[in-house]
Amino acid sequence: MELHGGHISVESEGDTKGSVFTFAIPLVLTCDEYRESGSIISGPESATQCSHANILSGESNRPRILVVEDNSANMKLITNLLEAGGYSTLQAFSAEEAINILKTQTPDLILMDISLPGTDGLKATKVIKSNPDTSHVTVVALTAHSMKDDESRAKEVGCDAYILKPIDTRIFYSTLSGLIKSEGSGAVA
Ligand code: MN
């Protein structure tokens, strides 16, 4: 629940009395869902996503983001957030897989988990930034709050920005939209 930005609690009056589990997670709406809701559900996050999806309208114009993340729950959360925000996604569960994908595809941005089994995100970023075919691709490090050194090390190896985990969706979207300028026709803002 916390990985999804929510929380969970349990209450029980004791043995054989049963238990009540309560959880809450933030609702992420796509632009269409937001419009259909007739703005009944409002909030800064929904509004940001909707205007973002408008700017990035058109499937083929959607910026492509390669997500490198070994934790499957995090992968699901991140790709859901990206797709709700108007991005298309590529997934790699290891640095090796990411480097393989980059041989045939050029994403607009890479979200790179630093803590990966095998080659870690820092080494992978070094490889990406030292290859002339991929050195221009923006790399955003995903670092855990507890790993303070990761931030400076991420910058050292060439990461363009970093996002802390657990992810704050507003910071997540504003960081990405600051780094990706919408391309092609249909850009309004
Ligand atoms: Mn990881």
Domain of residue 50: give its range: 28-185
Which pLDDT value is given to residue 59? 55
Which pLDDT value is given to residue 31? 62
Which pLDDT value is given to residue 6? 76
Q: What is the mean pLDDT of each run of 10 residues along the chain (189 residues)?
A: 80 91 77 61 48 50 94 93 92 97 96 95 96 96 79 90 89 92 45
Distance (angstroms) between ligand 1 centre and the Cα of 117 equals: 7
Within a domain: residue 81?
Answer: yes
Within a domain: residue 113?
Answer: yes
Within a domain: residue 99?
Answer: yes
pTM over 0.85: no
Which pLDDT value is given to residue 29? 63
- DSSP annotation of 30 reads -
Which pLDDT value is given to residue 34? 64
Which pLDDT value is given to residue 24? 85
Q: For the sheet containing 64-68, what is the strand order?
A: 88-92, 64-68, 109-113, 138-144, 161-165
Element (H, E) at 146: none
CATH value at residue 181? 3.40.50.2300
Within a domain: residue 10?
Answer: no
Distance (angstroms) between ligand 1 centre and the Cα of 115 equals: 4
Distance (angstroms) between ligand 1 centre and the Cα of 80 equals: 17
CA distance 60 to 133: 22
Which pLDDT value is given to residue 110? 98
Closest CA to 6 of 167, 188, 150: 167
Within a domain: residue 66?
Answer: yes
> Is cis: bond before 166, omega within 30 of 0?
yes
In contact, 131 and 123? CB cutoff 8 Å: no
In contact, 160 and 179? CB cutoff 8 Å: yes
- The structural domain count of the chain equals 1
Distance (angstroms) between ligand 1 centre and the Cα of 31 equals: 30
Which pLDDT value is given to residue 53? 47
Which pLDDT value is given to residue 33? 66
